[in-house]
Amino acid sequence: MKKTRTRIFLERRKVRVVRTAPAKRETFCLCCPHPVSMISATAAAAQVGVDVSAIYSEVARQTVHFAETADGLLLICSDSLDERFRQKEHSSVFVPNVARTE
């Protein structure tokens, strides 16, 4: 009796589709009177030279304008971001304009 060998080869292929959101959207910020660039948190961090966690902290403190899309993407108003980090640049502690008596 002759033995027969059957070889079975399994070949698997995986296809992963990665969709990235655009880093910048020209739209209306709910707090600004004109169309502005709404950018992702990662792009915002790169724009002002800080860590992404610093951007999330500013959002949590509501010191920058932001919006969330239906699919959960956080968008930051680039105008308010620039204004906020320009203030931080000029002083280590933000002090509002208050009349001082000496």
What would the pLDDT profile of 42-93 be if each residue is shown by its tens digit? 999 998 999 999 999 999 999 999 998 888 889 999 999 988 888 766 544 4
Whether 50 is in a domain gets the answer yes
Of 80, 90, 34, 29, the closest CA to residue 59 belongs to 80
Scored b (16 or more CB within 10 A) or e, 62-87 reads ebbbbbeeeeeebbbbbbbbeebbee
Whether 18 is in a domain gets the answer no
Domain of residue 49, residue span: 24-90
Helices and strands per DSSP (H, E), number in the chain: 3, 4
Q: How many domains does the chain have?
A: 1
Whether 61 is in a domain gets the answer yes
CATH code of the domain containing 41: 1.10.1660
For residue 48 the two structure tokens come to 């002002």
Whether 97 is in a domain gets the answer no
CA 55/CA 53 separation, integer angstroms: 5
**Residues 2-32: tens digit of each pLDDT:** 788 888 877 777 777 665 556 667 788 888 8
